[in-house]
Structure 1
Amino acid sequence: MLDTIQAVIFDMDGTLIDSMWIWRNIDIEYLGRFQIPLPEDLQGQIEGMSFSETAAYVKERFSISHSVDKIKQDWNQMAWDKYENEVPVKDGVIPFLKYLKERGVKMGVATSNSVELAKMVLEKRGLAPYFDAIHTSCEVAHGKPYPDIYEFVAEKLGATPEHCLVFEDVIQGIMAGKSANMKVCAVYDSYSEAQDEEKKRLADYYINSFEELKPLMQSGR
């Protein structure tokens, strides 16, 4: 998996941390403020969008009078406590990051979340020091499934796309990594369990947990 790899780029939510469950609850609560029930198709429509793209979509679709910046601010406030106190790191992540660091492999985060939440939770969980670049889709023209964020992070890491490995938990993210001409390892997450077969079809590799990478680390390859 790591042969010829110069850099490893991770999605954050559902990949490094177990946090996808939060957002459905936030969507229900936020739309409830405007007496709008949660449409069943909303999660599928916004999957992969940047934080800003999602806010713009919600504003337009539901005719929310608040500005995009106000919507983002409200979501950050609603999610902050949960990210600070309730979101765990996924099993096996930290040993794998240590292994990559010891091998001198560059590492980056490419997330669709807000920069405020991303930097806070990565710091709080002790993950931030492992990464050479932490960036969000709000910094590029298009969110996932477009390749923009992965190409951007690879450039920041000084790595060519064909020598990058991506870890992703949802289809739109996997497609973004593949569109960037990178190898992609799909990661199991209960939130996207129904997509597992498609994730396996699209990705180069699939793991149920980072614990499965222990043999790779022990072999030193």
Structure 2
Amino acid sequence: MPKAILFDMDGTLVDSIPFHQEAWLRFLESHGIHLGPDEFHAQNHGTIDEMIRRFFPAVQDSTALYALGQEKEKMYREIYKPHIHEVAGLTPFLERIHTLGIQAHLATMGDRPNIDFVLDGLGIRSFFSSITGAEEVSKGKPNPEVFLRSIEKAKVHASDCWVLEDSKGGILAGAAAGCLVIGITTSHSPEELISYGADRTVVDFLELMEEFC
């Protein structure tokens, strides 16, 4: 049994990745940047700041960059709000590990408004011992910084932590941090997640719950 579980947010707590992609494509289109889904997917990694700088290299002013990022994230929340729901079994799983004394920590590239949107929208904030978001790191996944910070907050060894992730960058980051990594198949097939470095995969938290009964 792990002493702590580090949860990604988008694609792990909620199946929000398609809505993020829709928001990005609409946002970029509104600024005259025309990308297809495959073109966007190849560049979809890192913090919101890293991504805005990637798509708007001519913009150097930090205030303008921040405003662009907030514009995109506001669009995402508006698109996803009518559809928000947890990945199957999440709340019962959080309740179960809490009763077992296993810490839950959030480690996400999401910013604070998006974190609040998900945790408060699902009513699960109280389960998390700590929250580490994009504002606390200088480099996004696949850099392991966000997980290393989360491990520090948990005050346990990386080998005593599990990481739950849905993305290639997140799986690479979790493995680089020294954790056991479980891939959730919301965004990729089991075969893809294993090829990225996941130790194993699950469909959802209902399946993972079976190990804690």
2:7 matched to 1:10?
yes
Q: Secondary structure at the match of 1:41?
A: helix
- Say if 1:192 and 1:20 are closer, same or farther in 2 by CA, change over 3 A: same
- Say if 1:82 and 1:159 are closer, same or farther in 2 by CA, change over 3 A: farther
Alpha-carbon distance, 1:97 to partner:
0.6
Q: Secondary structure at the match of 2:206?
A: helix
Contact 1:52 1:138 in 2 (8 A): no
Alpha-carbon distance, 1:136 to partner:
1.1
Distance 2:132 2:212 in 1: 27
Alignment-mate amino acid for residue 215 of structure 1? E
Structure 2 partner of 1:127: 124
Q: Secondary structure at the match of 1:88?
A: coil
How many positions carry a matched residue from both structures?
Answer: 209
Alpha-carbon distance, 1:46 to partner:
2.5
Distance 1:96 1:22 in 2: 24
2:90 matched to 1:96?
no
CA offset digits 1:4-55 (Å, max 9, x no partner): x2110000011111100112211221111123211432222222x0122112
Relative to the length of structure 2, the TM-score reads: 0.91
Relative to the length of structure 1, the TM-score reads: 0.88
Q: CA RMSD in A?
A: 1.7
- Residues 37-52 of structure 1 mapped to structure 2, 5 A cutoff: 37-39=34-36, 40-47=38-45, 49-52=46-49
Can you give the 5+ residue segments of structure 1 that lack an aligned partner in the other structure? Answer: none
Can you give the 5+ residue segments of structure 2 that lack an aligned partner in the other structure? Answer: none
2:191 matched to 1:197?
yes
Distance 1:28 1:42 in 2: 8
Greater alpha carbon shift after TM alignment, 7-16 vs 26-35: 26-35
Alpha-carbon distance, 1:83 to partner:
4.1
User: Sequence identity of aligned pairs in percent?
Assistant: 26
Contact 1:15 1:187 in 2 (8 A): yes
